[in-house]
Structure 1
Amino acid sequence: MWTAITREVSPALAGCELSFVPRSPIDVVLARSQHAAYCRALESLGCGVIQLPALPDYPDSVFVEDVALVFDEVAIATRPGAESRRGEGDAVHEVLGSLRPLLRIETPGTLDGGDVLCIGKRVFVGISARSNEAGRAQLRELLAPYGYTVEGVATRECLHLKSAVTQVAGDTLLVNPAWLADASPFAGYRMIEVDPEEEHAANAVRVGDAILYPDCFPKTLARLHEAGINVTTVDVSELQKAEGAVTCCSLLLRTATTA
């Protein structure tokens, strides 16, 4: 079965860090309603949802993906590239530590979970403003005993690697090629390109054989349907104003079932 770790929306969401989207008014009440619907959608796809309470002093804390990485064998506490976010992870790490051995990225490394895309035993890490070479090197060392490889992927004009590419099926990626400075690391995968008019449309959450996807990208959604991808849509418009996306709002991990 799947477990999803989430966190309620902070009342300070409007004070979020922004890099590539303009600041605009955020309706926090609506953001909370949308987040609740997002959690229900995860449940409908077979996830047991663990929801942590909001952190009033951390505007970006709803985006739990950035503070940790989860693999079948181990979890890793990251060190976010934005200094303002480095106090968000304690409760997340406590939960993960009860489910996996917990390792850590240490100074001077920085690593945002949004920059990490794992496909089987291949781990792709965005070369971005939020994740540095020291962070990638530490991740490579931490994962080597478990048989994972780690390779950098240069991005441009976007916050994280998973702003530009996510996995939507076993051998299939959803990609905005304009935001990848070098797509060669993904040679060999089938690629579905986002519609050029929907540049933010490459971010999707994969849960088993289904994906959870924003409802505001109809042209790219049609391409997913044409490719035979099973899609559940959600409205995350207020979270998108905070430069968030559907992957950002949860940490997904496979958990063993008991007989």
Structure 2
Amino acid sequence: MTAGTIHAITRLPGFLDRGELTHIDRVPADMGRAAAQHAAYRAALERAGARVTVLPALADYPDSCFVEDVAVILPQLVILTRPGAVSRQGEVAHMAPHLPADRPHFTVTAPGTIDGGDVMVVGRDIFIGLTLRTNAAAVAQAADAVAPHGYRVTGVPLADALHLKTAVSALADDLVLVNADWIDPQVFGRRHIASAPGEPFAGNSLTVGNTVFHATGAETLARIAAAGFAVEYLDISEFAKCEAGLTCLSLVY
């Protein structure tokens, strides 16, 4: 691996309308539009400096384009998750061969369940959402696995969103973007930018290189830009019908 190279693993969308839903009602997805949005997403990551890997769709796993949930990639360690939805647990084996082989792999085991969307890494702090998909047993396993590498793990109870990163995302090691109606920003012990009122899903963003991508909320996007970031809007509205945010669609490392 070339030092400083940004990698992004993605997977083409398959049958989104058969995927899991927890907090929203099902609205049919336009798969042609979803494919175009995914292509635009990949192109944006490349513009931001990422080397993008594109994996084929998995017909038996309609949520498998949400690759973030099956692994957490740290510079020192790869964590293979055990997704909270049983229908998604088979995705992990399909992703494992494509993960970086230059560091150890740790696999979460039963009774632990954890989705990568619940894992936010900010510097040496790892915040893990305690949600319907991620439980305390998995948080404990992850904490034990990363402790030798100098990371601190904090479990964060969350009831109003599918994943932690639906409500909060890292803009920098000392700054997070957060929906303060869903979670207390003080939990993270850092400076924060609050998403704008009336833009509930605007706490999710994706930083690649020097660019912050944002998918929802014009006022929140303006707040990020006002903090000095280069911001780019990306339309992933078809994936949002499946409770997805920008971070869901790639594994960036």
- TM, length-normalised to structure 1: 0.93
Paired amino acid for 2:92? G
* SS of aligned partner of 2:99: helix
What are the Cα deviations for residues 51-97 of structure 1, in whole angstroms up to 9, with x where unaligned?
Answer: 11000111110000000000001101000000010011223211115
Paired with 2:97 and 2:104, the residues of 1 have a C-alpha distance of 11
* SS of aligned partner of 1:150: strand
Paired with 1:99 and 1:21, the residues of 2 have a C-alpha distance of 39
Match of 2:203 in 1: 202
Q: How does 1:1-12 map to 2 (within 5 A)?
A: 1-10=5-14, 12=15
Paired with 1:91 and 1:97, the residues of 2 have a C-alpha distance of 14
- TM, length-normalised to structure 2: 0.95
Match of 1:78 in 2: 81
Aligned partner of 1:45 among 48, 58, 70: 48
Offset, 1:183? 3.7
Match of 1:186 in 2: 188
Match of 2:27 in 1: 24
Paired amino acid for 1:227? A
Paired with 2:113 and 2:67, the residues of 1 have a C-alpha distance of 16
The number of residue pairs the alignment matches comes to 249
Counterpart check, 1:141 vs 2:144: yes
Match of 1:256 in 2: none
Structure 1: stretches of 5+ with no match in the other structure: 254-259
What are the Cα deviations for residues 177-199 of structure 1, in whole angstroms up to 9, with x where unaligned?
Answer: 1111x443213x11111111110
Paired with 1:146 and 1:222, the residues of 2 have a C-alpha distance of 36
Match of 1:248 in 2: 248
Paired amino acid for 2:212? I
Contact 1:65 1:247 in 2 (8 A): yes
Paired with 1:170 and 1:103, the residues of 2 have a C-alpha distance of 24
Shift in CA distance, 202/224, structure 1 to aligned 2, threshold 3 Å = same
Q: Percent identity?
A: 44
Q: How does 1:220-259 map to 2 (within 5 A)?
A: 220-253=220-253
Moved over 3 A (4+): none
Contact 1:45 1:207 in 2 (8 A): yes
Structure 2: stretches of 5+ with no match in the other structure: none
What are the Cα deviations for residues 94-139 of structure 1, in whole angstroms up to 9, with x where unaligned?
Answer: 1115343211001110010000001111100001111001000000
Paired with 1:99 and 1:4, the residues of 2 have a C-alpha distance of 16
Paired with 2:132 and 2:163, the residues of 1 have a C-alpha distance of 8
Offset, 1:22? 1.5
RMSD: 1.2
What are the Cα deviations for residues 203-237 of structure 1, in whole angstroms up to 9, with x where unaligned?
Answer: 011123321111x4111111111111111221100
Contact 1:162 1:203 in 2 (8 A): yes
Paired with 1:36 and 1:99, the residues of 2 have a C-alpha distance of 28
Paired with 2:81 and 2:100, the residues of 1 have a C-alpha distance of 13
Offset, 1:27? 0.4
Paired with 1:19 and 1:13, the residues of 2 have a C-alpha distance of 14
Aligned partner of 1:112 among 100, 112, 115: 115
Paired amino acid for 1:93? A
Paired with 2:74 and 2:143, the residues of 1 have a C-alpha distance of 13
